[in-house]
Amino acid sequence: MRPLALILLLSGVAAPSAALAYAEFQKHIQATSGRNVNCAVCHAHGDGPDGVKPGQVGSLTPAEVDRLNRARIAFEPGQTVDSPILNAFGNHIVFTVGKRQLLALKNDPGALAGRLQETDLDRDGISDGQELRDGTHPLDAQHGDPWKLMKVNTRRYGLHLVLLAVATFLGLYGLGHILRWFGRTAEAAMQGLRDRGRDEP
């Protein structure tokens, strides 16, 4: 999939013009992670903010435009915003980094991930920054680097796994013995049947 994504990038069609505002991040993620990503990492719509579909600028109600404008002037970090064209992760970036630095980071898109090491919005055990590096979705607990998810989940569900292993072991042990017992008993019963058959006629 990686070369395919690159081809698309070179031909300039992967990113619809609408989303070009932050295409640096998209390009960087795709190049470093090898995974194809779209604007839905941070935006409400996968095709980015421009357009008339739900979650795009053209579809906003006046109240939402108001929220959008408030988000657009959140230049310094630490301001809670609720932009209608961003998803929870996008709003979280604005909160953590602030608009000013975010715009500056366009020249160094890899550095954004480092600023988001502390949080894990989908609580899947992989920090938002790491998910950004891996090209996986920071808001979907089912989505993450498979290997990292496995390590996290093995720890998280350790008790379940141990109990399941114990159950499996006990089951195998019990099954072994019960079948041996049943085999013996059945053999005895069969022998009994044959003996009776011999006696009767």
> Cβ of residue 71: shortest distance to another protein, in angstroms?
18
The position carrying tokens 């607990």 is: 141
Position 142 contacts another protein (CB under 8 A):
yes
Of the candidate residues 93, 127, 186, 201, the single one contacting another protein (CB under 8 A): 186
For another protein, which is the closer residue by CB, 83 or 99?
83
Position 128 contacts another protein (CB under 8 A):
no
> Cβ of residue 91: shortest distance to another protein, in angstroms?
13
Rounded-to-integer distance, Cα 137 and Cα 142, Å: 9
Number of neighbours of residue 31 by Cβ within 10 angstroms: 15
Of residues 70, 79, 72, 6, the one with CA closest to residue 36 = 6
Strand partners, 43: 86
Position 58 contacts another protein (CB under 8 A):
no
Rounded-to-integer distance, Cα 162 and Cα 182, Å: 29
Of the candidate residues 70, 132, 141, 199, the single one contacting another protein (CB under 8 A): 141
Tell which positions 88-117 bind another protein, by CB under 8 A: none
